[in-house]
Amino acid sequence: MVVNHRPNTLLIGKNGQVGYDILPELEKISNVTAIDVETLDLTRPDDVRQFVRSLRPDIVVNAAAYTAVDKAESEPELAEAINATAPEVLAQEVARTGSLLVHYSTDYVFDGTKSDPYVEEDPVCPINAYGRTKAEGEKSIRRAGCRHLIFRTSWVFSYRGNNFLLTILRLARQRDEFRIVNDQIGAPTSSQSLASATVEVLQHILSAGGADENWGTYHMTAAGETSWFGFASEVFRQASPELLNKVPQLHPIPTSEYPTPARRPSNSRLNCEKLRSKFGVILPHWRDSIVRVLALVNATGGIS
């Protein structure tokens, strides 16, 4: 992909956590057309195809996804349409024009049985419907033969939207204690750090003239690791009195005591060395990201 002009970027999912934060970052390096899933129905492949053809962007950033992990168990067709079929159509159109597709995937493509952090080359083995549809989306992109960047991430949170950090802060106003899973390990990753890292990679690729050896799959998560219990503990420790007028009591529990429709991997750790060695990109530590996100929660009016 050689672009001799300021690139034209299509951002899909502008109102999602990652999409919202990546929009201003993309605008620093390209001309952006940003749309939400209400504007473009990702369950209608022909509409997706025609929309991309009408714009002929140099870069397509797909920040849209079906992310309701438990709900996907009861509506797998919808999850498949958004997470697998739509990316396949995008990849086919990108391959046709020689553009670049940026796509986000998940730690849930793995089953969590490995003792070490997962590397990009490890075979996928999802254990829930959400993970299966995301793995199929990855496969479809590779099969299309387009220039692509697939960024696998984990436990995404932000100062807006639906995520674990905001949920526990809201619930803390109603509850005096929580029972939180302590045997699933991963890296809470802020959408802000994902946005910055993505654009840093894109800048590297554009400056290198789009060399083919840069395309592929990369793990992109915050530095460090913790459990959901550890994540909650740190959020409550850092939260200001304006956000948290009392600190609930936390009780660590095993996954077996918190059954959910969808199974979760016990090991969600992703090895990000490939991202560092190829592009020099290292995301902030998850604790540092909590500091920044809580500051944004305060600055934007607190918890509603």
Just list the catalytic residues. Answer: 130
| Long-range Cβ contact pairs of 128-132 (< 8 A, separation 24 or more) | 128/69, 128/72, 128/73, 128/262, 128/263, 128/264, 129/72, 129/73, 129/76, 129/79, 129/262, 130/66, 130/67, 130/68, 130/69, 130/72, 130/79, 130/83, 130/106, 130/262, 131/106, 132/76
79 within 8 A of 130, measured Cβ to Cβ: yes
Instruction: Give the residue from 129, 51, 38 showing the smallest Cα distance to 83.
Output: 129
Residues with Cβ within 8 Å of residue 193, at least 6 apart in sequence: 222, 283, 284, 289
Instruction: Give the residue from 126, 123, 189, 201 showing the smallest Cα distance to 156.
Output: 189
- Joined tokens for residue 185: 């390990």
- Joined tokens for residue 164: 């674990």
CA atoms of 105 and 84, how far apart (whole Å): 11
Kindly report the three-state secondary structure assignment for every residue of 42-92.
Answer: CCCHHHHHHHHHHHCCCEEEECCCCCCCCHHHCCHHHHHHHHHHHHHHHHH
CA atoms of 32 and 63, how far apart (whole Å): 14
Handedness of CA 120, 114, 110, 265 (dihedral sign): negative
